[in-house]
Amino acid sequence: MNIMSKQARPNVLSIAGFDPSAGAGILADIKTFEYCDTYGMGVVSALTYQNDISFEKAEWLGLSQMIAQIEILQKRFQFEYIKIGLIENLEVLLELITYLKTIHNFQLITPKIIWDPILKASAGFEFHNNVNQKLLETVCSELFLITPNIPESLQLGTYNDAQKNAKQLSRFCNVYLKGGHSEEKKGTDFLFTMDGREFLFPSEISTVFPKHGSGCVLSAAITANLSKGMSLETACSKAKKYAADFLLSNDSLLGFHSNNTFLKHE
C-alpha cells in the first residue's frame, strides 16, 4: 500500500503533567491518542515525582513556559481538540484557555477544550483542596467538556451528590462523570450535555484490575474520538470500551494499550 495514500490523522494536543511511570499524564495521553488513530502532541504543565503507587511532589511549570511550548507547535500545527489535565490552579487554567482561544481565533479555528480536573493523585496526593465556585463556572463556560470522577465532582459543586453537581455544571459545559468510584453502580458513567440530555454508560466488564491513570486514558480517548468527527455520545461510548480494554489488559497497575479496541467492540 502506498504510504502517501493513507488518510492523514487529526492532530490532538495534551497539556498535562509528566509522569515518569507513563501510566498517567501526558505520556498516557500520547499513547492513547496514538492507538485511537490520531497524532498526539504534548505540552508539559508540571514535572511530577511519582510511580504507579506513590506520589512525592509536583513542580509546576509557569504559564509562560507552557505558552512557549504551545507557540512553537502552533507555528506548524493546528488543533481542533485540546485536552488539559493536571494544572496548577483555576486561575492558571483560565489564562491558558484564554490564550489558546486567542491564538486559534487568529487562525480562524476555535478549539474545543476538554478538561480532566485532576484534584487528587491516585496515590493520595492532593493538588487542590478549595474550589472557587464562581471562578469554576467562568472556566467551564469556556470549555467544551469536563471529565471528573465522583470524588472530583463532589469537590466541584455545591451538593453532596456527584450526579447533581455534574448536572449543575452542565449549564456551562458538557460533563462526563466517570463512575469508577461509585459504591452503588461501580463503573457506570454519565454524560450530561449542555442542552439538557443525559446518557448512561454502564460497565460491560465484571472483573476489573485497577489501573494508574485510567481516568487520563478515558478522557484522552474521548478527545481523540471527537477529533475524528464522532458525536459526543459516540465518542464517549467508544472511549469507555477502550478504557475497559485498558483495565483488562493485565493485572498490574500499569495498563497496556491496544489498537484492536474498536474492532473488537464493533
Q: Which candidate, 143, 159, 96, 86, places its Cα nearest to that of 120?
A: 86
**Backbone region of residue 174 per phi and psi (left: phi > 0; alpha: psi in -120 to 50; beta: other values):** beta
Identify the band that residue 2 occupies on the pLDDT scale cut at 50, 70 and 90: very low
Q: CB neighbours of 229 closer than 8 A, spacing ≥ 6?
A: none
Condensed to tens digits (0 to 9), the pLDDT of residues 15-35 reads 999 999 999 999 999 999 999
* Cα–Cα distance, 106 to 126 (Å, whole number): 37
* Cα–Cα distance, 22 to 227 (Å, whole number): 23
Condensed to tens digits (0 to 9), the pLDDT of residues 74-113 reads 999 999 999 999 999 999 999 999 999 988 666 667 899 9
Helix, strand, or coil (residue 251): coil
Average pLDDT of the chain is 88
The answer, yes or no, to whether residue 128 has pLDDT greater than 70, is: no
In the chain, the percentage of residues whose pLDDT exceeds 90 is 74
Are 220 and 33 contacting, i.e. CB atoms less than 8 angstroms apart? yes
In the chain, the percentage of residues whose pLDDT exceeds 70 is 86
- pLDDT at residue 62, rounded to an integer: 96
The answer, yes or no, to whether residue 5 has pLDDT greater than 50, is: no
- pLDDT at residue 163, rounded to an integer: 95
Condensed to tens digits (0 to 9), the pLDDT of residues 194-208 reads 999 999 998 877 777
| Residue ranges covered by each domain of the chain | 9-261
Q: What is the mean pLDDT of residues 53-68?
A: 95
Place of cell 469508577: 180
- pLDDT at residue 1, rounded to an integer: 40
Condensed to tens digits (0 to 9), the pLDDT of residues 208-238 reads 788 999 999 999 999 999 999 999 999 999 9
Exposure letters 81-112 (e unless 16+ CB within 10 A, then b): bbbbbbbbebebbbebbeebbeebeeeeeebb
The answer, yes or no, to whether residue 67 has pLDDT greater than 90, is: yes
The answer, yes or no, to whether residue 122 has pLDDT greater than 90, is: no
Burial class (CB in 10 A: 0-12, 13-18, 19+), 254: middle
Helix, strand, or coil (residue 119): coil
CATH number of 9-261: 3.40.1190.20
Are 36 and 105 contacting, i.e. CB atoms less than 8 angstroms apart? no
